Amino acid sequence: MKFRFAHESIEINAGLLIGLTLLVISIGGLVEIVPLFYIDETIEEVEGVRPYTPLEQAGRDIYVREGCYTCHSQMIRPFRDELLRYGHYSLAAESQYDHPFQWGSKRTGPDLARVGEKYSNEWHVQHLEAPRSVVPESIMPNYPWLSETALNTSDIEGKLRALKMVGVPYSDTDEEYQANVERFGEEAAKMLDIHSAEKNLIAQAQAGNYDGDRSNLTEMDAMVAYLQLLGTLVDFSKYDEGYFAEFR
């Protein structure tokens, strides 16, 4: 019998069609994704990037909960116009502790990858509560409840533990703590200690006074602390531009 490729037998068999489609798509995915885990150049070697402090992590969780990513990306592409508008393009290293990352490609609002330290805390509070009071033509929703809702701090230890399981170096044991001191410096290492997570969270909110009201700890404190950190960890003046190109 002459061999003829019977596409008809795939087309009329829904189960087989689904199975083979999945196979073909996953080959594409695997070929593109898997090598990134072992290619040396994937994550740039830069100083300064550390995991989020408990307060920043709490803010990040609220960012995800509120769906800010539906309008805001956190990924500055290496194009001249992006550079002029937002600053240095994002490095893979800068989101290495993000689970899940917030890169995105949908920009109803501006990219937020380098919004940290751009505005004052007061502006962020005002803008999140009522965007149109500072930017009249804004279409961003109001988030007034952030200032009114007390921040839940009781589950922060568990959150850090979960992140540790997927590879973020929060420290549980003394050894891990010492390793963090070496890697991130003592000040940062203290913040990454799981056992004092709740205490650290409260202390940072008190010291930073992000929502302008020290008397209570709200979700706004955490959100603003997170926003003010975005894109500020790497000091780009220390590097020659050509250096980052070596990682591509």
Partner 1 sequence: MSDNNTQQQGKAVQTTGHAWDGDLQEFNNPLPRWWIWTFYATIIFSLGYWIIYPTWPYANTFTKGVGNTITFQNSAGEEVTTHWNTRSLLIEDMQTGEEALKQKAYLEKVNAASYEEILSDPDMMAFANSMAKVVFADNCAACHGPGGDLPEQAFGLYPNVADDAWLWGGTTTEIEQTITHGRNGFMPAFGKSLNDEKLEQLANYVLGLSGHSVETDKAAAGQKIFQGQEGGCYYCHGTDGTGLKSQGAANLTDAVWTVANVPGAVKEEGKVAAVKSVIKNGITRQMPQWKSRLGVEQIKLLTLYVHELGGGE
State the minimum distance, in angstroms, from the CB of residue 144 to ligand HEC. Answer: 11
Amino acid symbol at 190? K
196 binds, among partner 1, ligand HEC, none (CB under 5 to 8 A by kind): none
Site for partner 1 (CB under 8 A): how many residues? Answer: 39
Q: According to the binding rule CB under 6 A, does residue 108 interact with ligand HEC? A: yes
Q: Is 242 in the site for partner 1 (CB under 8 A)?
A: yes
Going 236 to 241 to 243 to 248, the CA torsion angle's sign is positive
Binder to ligand HEC among 101, 119, 236, 247 (CB under 6 A)? 119
The interface region with ligand HEC, picked from 74-82, 104-112, 172-180, 200-208 by CB under 6 A, is: 104-112
Among 24, 28, 38, 166, binds partner 1 (CB under 8 A): 38
Q: Are 171 and 194 in contact (CB under 8 A)?
A: yes
Q: Convert residues 85-114 into a mask of x (bound to partner 1 by CB under 8 A) and - (unbound).
A: x-x-x------------------------x
Give yes or no for a contact between 153 and 198, defined as CB atoms under 8 angstroms apart. Answer: yes
Measure the CA–CA gap between 61 and 53, rounded to whole angstroms.
12
Q: How far apart are CA 12 and CA 9, in angstroms?
A: 6
Q: Where are the alpha helices (DSSP H) in 34-137?
A: 54-65, 80-86, 121-129
Cβ–Cβ under 8 Å, residues 233 and 94: yes
Q: How far is the CB of 40 from partner 1 (least distance, A)?
A: 5
- 8 A C-beta contact, residue 143 and residue 227: no
**Binding status of residue 66 toward ligand HEC by CB under 6 A:** yes
By CB under 8 A, which span of 2-10, 47-55, 148-156, 166-174 interacts with partner 1?
2-10
